A and B are shown apart, each in its own frame.
Chain A
Amino acid sequence: MTVAVAALGSGLGLGKAVGSAMEAMARQPEAAGKIQTGMIIGAAFIEALTIYALVAVILLK
């Protein structure tokens, strides 16, 4: 249940991040490479929060 709520949060956050990355890439296609790199790194950070929840659940069981 904990992990489900954390996944919900990261789903929302990642959606917003990737959405704004897509929008930025559409506005300036020549910067698409840099924006993509930033998007992947941002996604890793957001995902990390869900992973913390998963690790906490596993360590406590």
Chain B
Amino acid sequence: MIEKTTLILNGIVHTINEHAAEVSDTLVEHQAHGGFVSDTLKSLHDTAHAAVGHVVHGAEHAAHGAGHAPELPNWLELAKILFPGRLTEFLFAWHVVIFSAVVWLMLSFFCIIAYRKRSIYPGKLQNFIEWIVETLYNLIVGILGPSGAKYVPFLGTLFVYIFTMNVFGLFPGMFSSTSKLNTTLALAICVFCYVQFEGIRTNGLKGYILHLAGSPKSVVEWCLVPLNLPLHIIGELAKPISLSLRLFGNISGEDMLLAIFAGLGIASLAFINPPNWLPGLPLQFPFIFLALLTSFVQALVFTLLSSIYFSLMTHREEEHH
């Protein structure tokens, strides 16, 4: 019974990965895919009693059996399935980059429009963007001191970009690029390189190495340099790793949560052989709010941590927050 349910649920997760619930009526027309969906639903109708009880257990098995993290499909994946060909395969292979490009194009578009029509009496869009910029400015200057104002563009952009990318995946058919380690590692490496460069620029090369050795000022501290130096270097290397893994784990975990609960929603109505316009209950809806919260918090934490790394490296202001 469990094996049959697992196989069926493997089919469900496979189906969810390859088809969206919204286009199920289109799929019925495409015979190969349509047959698979209706076969799956009929088999579910047969195993009604065990299905609901074992759904989550089976979904876990199916997820691990499938070999990769389950996630809801996006437009490029659908395009690859509905119109198989070299162009859609190429687009799907690059879907992480393409969705992140869509995000920054959208953001640039908004900002350019607000900039073109700026005036002393701001309109709604300009007011909104000014509110965002001022809040970020206060946040970052609060950590870095007044001399930190030159880092506000970089850190502010980090926040807005990461927040928009995280939230982007919650729209149906869209995908958040931060749910892949590629994007988050790239962002963390950017921050790492900029922080080290700023450290060398403000402290000088000798001061930078002394700072890494723990800024020894007395004989005792000089003796501890062979201990401090590797420790600090490992600490510096651990920073981008932790930044990227934290963001990646949180956002991909949210995506997986949504996908698994969407599967649960489909399985919950399976025993009554549902019509095509209602494949399942939207059980993942409350988790979208949780995903909004963690998207915001993770973007904020990324930005705050990056600004704290800047302040640790430059040590300019002695005011601690």
Contacts and interface: CB of A to CB of B under 8 A. Distances in A.
Contacts of A48: 242, 245-246, 249-250, 301
Contacts of A43: 297
Interface string B279-316: 00000000000000000011011001000000000000
Interface residues of A, number: 13
A51 B253 contact: yes
B249 A55 contact: yes
Question: Which range holds the interface residue count of chain B?
Answer: 10 to 19
B27 interface: no
B177 to A, nearest CB: 17
A44 interface: yes
A interface majority secondary structure = helix
Interface string A12-55: 00000000000000000000000000001101110110011011
B175 interface: no
Interface of A: 40-41, 43-45, 47-48, 51-52, 54-55, 58, 61
B253 A54 contact: yes
Contact of A54 (B64, B249, B301): B249
B189 to A, nearest CB: 17
A51 B246 contact: yes
Contacts of B246: 44, 48, 51-52
Contacts of B252: 55
Nearest to A34: B321
A55 B248 contact: yes
A41 B302 CA distance: 10
Nearest to B250: A51
Interface string B245-259: 110111011000000
B188 to A, nearest CB: 13
29 contacts: A40-B297, A40-B300, A41-B297, A41-B300, A41-B301, A41-B304, A44-B246, A44-B297, A44-B298, A44-B300, A44-B301, A47-B250, A48-B245, A48-B246, A48-B249, A48-B250, A48-B301, A51-B245, A51-B249, A51-B253, A52-B242, A52-B245, A52-B246, A52-B249, A54-B253, A55-B245, A55-B249, A55-B252, A61-B64
